[in-house]
Structure formats: C-alpha cells, structure tokens
C-alpha cells in the first residue's frame, strides 16, 4: 500500500465510492455503493467553514474528515439548491440514498440529503462479472437517457488492481479483461456518457514489471478504442493521478503508452480521483500533462472535486483525513479552457477504511464533510 505524500495512491477504490454490484435486487439492476446528486451551491476551492467535506472510499487515494457528533439543523428551512449541471445524471440507488430513506427523522438527514445525496456522482463497476456487466451498465445508461442526462461510469477491473492493496482484485488476466470491457461497452448505448477508465491504472503502474506494464497499457488503449467504437458519443478519460503524484511530463509519457493521446481511444485525462488536491492545482497540472501529451487538440481533462474543498492535508494523509470538505459542484460547464468537467467520482461519506469499513457509508462522516 503506497501512502507516501508525494504519491498518495487510491486505496479502497473497489470497496469504496460508487460500485454497481449484483445483489438480491437482480442482475439487471445497477447497484452503486453511493450516489451523488444535484448540487447545492458551487463551492470555492476553500469553502466557508460552514461546509465540511467528506471523503468517499473509491479508487484513488481518498481522504475523509473527522466525524462530528453535532447534529445538523432541524429539517425546517431547507436551503434551495442551485442548478448545477442539469445534464449530469444522479443514479437513484446508492448507500447514501438508502441511509436518507431509512432515517427521515435524523437531524443530519437534511444536510446529507441536500448536499451529498442529491448531487450527480459516478457509478463504479468494480466487480469482475462478465455475464451481467452489460445489463448493469445498460441499467445506468438507459436510466440517464430516459432523463436526458449524462451518466458517469467507472470501469474498475484491470488485472493486478491497486498493486495488491486495499482495492486489489479485478480480472484474472488480460484476455478476461478484454472480454469484460467488450461486454461493458455493449451496455453504453448510443448517447453521451463519461467514462472514467480504470483509476490508478497508469499513475500507479510502477509496481508492475516492464512486461506487465506493457500488457496493461495495451489493454487500456484497446479498452478506449472499444468503448468509443461501441458508442461514438462516449467520452473516455485516462488516469493522470493528481498534482502531487508523478511530474506532468512523466505522467504524459505513461499516458501516451496507454493510448491517451489518440482520438480513437481517448477524450483526455482525469485527475484527483478520491483525493483532495485543490481544483486550481489540478487545473494547472492537467494542462501541463495535456501539453506534454500532445495528440488531438480536442483532448481535455475532468477533475474529481468531491472532497477537495479544503485542499489536501499537509501531511499527505489519504485515509479519511480530518478537516476535508466537499468541493465544487459536479458540472460539465467549467468555464476553464481544456477542463471538460468537475465530477464527483468518489462519493463523500463512503469511508476509505479509517472512519468505517472501507467502502461503507458513514453518516457522521458524511455530515461532517457536508455541513
């Protein structure tokens, strides 16, 4: 498990964030661990002290703030939510929504519901289930299509995932992974969808041998081509780590090997998944990576802003760190050149494994992040 401040890697991705899993509801229903929702008010990089962010346990190095026992205001005078990005999709099934529905009278519910559960967030597919992945992806994309919205989906089954860390797992080999991606792509449909392709798969590839890394990058390049061929409107983004991980030129060289510079497989890069670095730092870093990457002039970047509202901890803590806050609202309209979106890839309230079991929703943590 890599925990160095200079390369805080995502731990607990498979168990955290939003996953689509088979359960008693049936294989055709996508079941994320948690979902985001329409946003309240766009937040600055360092929001007011009234709002505290939470970390969600997803793929990359995530962090969470301390839990708070102070209840939220009573459920009167609910704040009005501002329109953030009408185009982004909020999946109706998640751990946070389950909690909200089960606790209508909890004094924290209003804050958690309005500032986390009602915001659009990514849906993770972290379990290797080739027989049902198509139907589960289709359940998400068709649900979004029915609302005229854009879903964000996260394929997360690369072999040797997380270098054997807390989020280990994935396909048993690259032939199996290729087949899984084929089935994943078959569920995309024909409308716009944002694909966050395999968090940590490139930035964290230093644990692999040269041969293993070559196989992984070949599989990622193929995955991008397959996804975009299946749905020409799909927007596929590749792993750029974050601004405090690999230097931009080094990351760009790795990305190029994985096909991220090719318009046939890529729409650009993503950064800060499950991490806490300020949006301004990620914008600057992503532009440096894109400049070094070259390729199509249309390549852009998306940034995970789910819990970066107070920036990253100075000590590099990645596991549910204290003092974090939710960040900017999910939107595909950033107003920033080459920055295609601010997304909630990891959902606030899902633990990295320190405030609660990895991947599980913890109300006290969510409340502390959101209030």
Q: Which of 45, 162, 244, 267 is catalytic?
A: 162
Contact 271, 282 (CB under 8 A): yes
Taking the CA of residue 284 as centre, how many other CA atoms within 13 Å lie in the half-sphere pointing to its CB? 7
Q: In the sheet where 268-271 sits, what is the strand order?
A: 123-125, 152-155, 193-197, 234-239, 268-271, 300-304, 339-343
CA 41 to chain CA mean position, Å: 20
Q: Report residue 154 as tokens.
A: 């996260």
Left, alpha or beta for 338 (phi > 0: left; psi -120 to 50: alpha)?
left
Given this model, what pLDDT does residue 60 score?
38
**Tokens (6 digits) for 246:** 């690999």
For residues 159 and 174, is the Cβ–Cβ distance under 8 A? yes
Q: Active site includes 162? A: yes
Token look-up 């991980």 returns 245
3-state secondary structure of 130: coil
| 352 given a catalytic annotation | yes
Are 313 and 278 in contact by the 8 Å Cβ rule? The answer is no
Task: Give the tokens for residue 38.
Answer: 């329409």
Query: CA nearest 260: which of 222, 288, 231, 287?
Result: 222
Whose CA is closest to 258, among 209, 203, 176? 203
- Find the DSSP H helices in the chain: 95-102, 109-112, 133-147, 174-186, 210-230, 248-257, 279-293, 363-370
pLDDT tens for the 371 residues of the chain, in order: 332 333 333 334 333 343 443 333 333 334 333 333 322 223 333 322 222 222 233 433 333 322 233 333 333 333 333 345 569 999 999 999 999 999 999 999 999 999 999 999 999 999 999 999 999 999 999 999 999 999 999 999 999 999 988 788 999 999 999 999 999 999 999 999 999 999 999 999 999 999 999 999 999 999 999 999 999 999 999 999 999 999 999 999 999 999 999 999 999 999 999 999 999 999 999 999 999 999 988 999 999 999 999 999 999 898 999 999 999 999 999 999 999 999 999 999 998 889 988 788 999 999 999 99
The answer to whether 123 and 88 have CB atoms below 8 angstroms apart is: no
Backbone φ, ψ for residue 158 (5° rounding): -60, 140
pLDDT for residue 84: 52
Q: What is the pLDDT of residue 370?
A: 95
Q: How far apart are CA 317 and CA 5, in angstroms?
A: 7
- Please state, in angstroms and as integers, the Cα–Cα distance from residue 306 to each residue in 122, 252, 316, following that order: 10, 24, 18
The Cα 286–Cα 304 span in angstroms is: 12
CB-based contacts of 34, cutoff 8 Å, min separation 6:
17, 18, 56, 94, 95, 96, 97, 121, 347, 349, 350, 361
Of 45, 267, 340, 352, the catalytic one is 352
The encoded tokens of residue 74 equal 């009573």
Say what the pLDDT of residue 85 is: 56
DSSP states along 36-65: -B--SS---SS--TT--------SS----P
> Could you say which of 106, 200, 267, 304 is catalytic?
200
Q: Evaluate the CA torsion angle 137, 185, 126, 173 in order and state its sign.
A: positive
Q: Is 154 helix (H, G, I), strand (E, B) or coil?
A: strand
At 30 the pLDDT is 40
Tell the residue number behind the tokens 């089960």, with chain if given. 102
Phi, psi of 124 (to 5 degrees): -95, 140
């Amino acid at each position: 498990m890599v925990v160095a401040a200079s390369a805080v890697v995502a731990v607990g991705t498979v168990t955290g964030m939003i996953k689509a899993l088979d359960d008693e509801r049936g294989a055709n229903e996508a079941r994320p661990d948690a979902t985001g929702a329409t946003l309240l008010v766009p937040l600055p990089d360092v929001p007011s002290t009234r709002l505290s962010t939470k970390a969600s346990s997803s793929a990359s190095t995530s962090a969470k703030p301390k839990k708070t026992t102070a209840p939220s205001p009573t459920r009167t005078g609910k704040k009005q939510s501002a329109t953030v990005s009408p185009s982004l999709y909020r999946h109706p099934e998640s751990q946070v929504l389950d909690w909200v529905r089960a606790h209508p009278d909890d004094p924290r519910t209003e804050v958690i519901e309005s500032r986390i559960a009602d915001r659009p967030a990514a849906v993770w597919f972290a379990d290797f289930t080739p027989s049902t992945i198509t139907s589960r992806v289709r359940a998400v994309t068709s649900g979004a299509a029915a609302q005229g919205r854009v879903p964000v989906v996260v394929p997360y089954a690369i072999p040797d995932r997380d270098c054997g860390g807390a989020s280990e797992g994935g396909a048993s080999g690259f032939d199996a992974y290729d087949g899984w991606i084929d089935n994943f792509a078959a569920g995309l449909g024909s409308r716009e969808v944002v694909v966050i392709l395999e968090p940590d798969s490139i930035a964290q590839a230093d644990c692999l041998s040269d041969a293993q890394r070559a196989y992984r990058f070949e599989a990622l390049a193929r995955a991008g081509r397959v996804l975009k061929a299946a749905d020409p409107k799909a927007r596929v983004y590749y792993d750029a780590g974050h601004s405090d991980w690999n230097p931009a030129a080094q990351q760009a060289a790795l990305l190029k090997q994985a096909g991220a510079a090719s318009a046939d497989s890529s729409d650009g890069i993503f950064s800060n998944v499950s991490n806490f670095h300020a949006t301004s730092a990620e914008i600057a870093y992503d532009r440096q990576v894109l400049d070094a990457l070259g390729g199509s002039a249309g390549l852009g970047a998306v940034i995970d802003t789910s819990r970066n509202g107070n920036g990253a901890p100075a000590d590099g803590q990645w596991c549910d760190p204290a003092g974090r806050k939710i960040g900017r609202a999910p939107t595909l309209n950033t107003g920033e050149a080459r920055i295609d979106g601010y997304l909630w890839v990891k959902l606030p309230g899902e633990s990295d494994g320190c405030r609660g079991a990895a991947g599980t929703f913890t109300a006290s943590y969510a409340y502390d992040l959101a209030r």
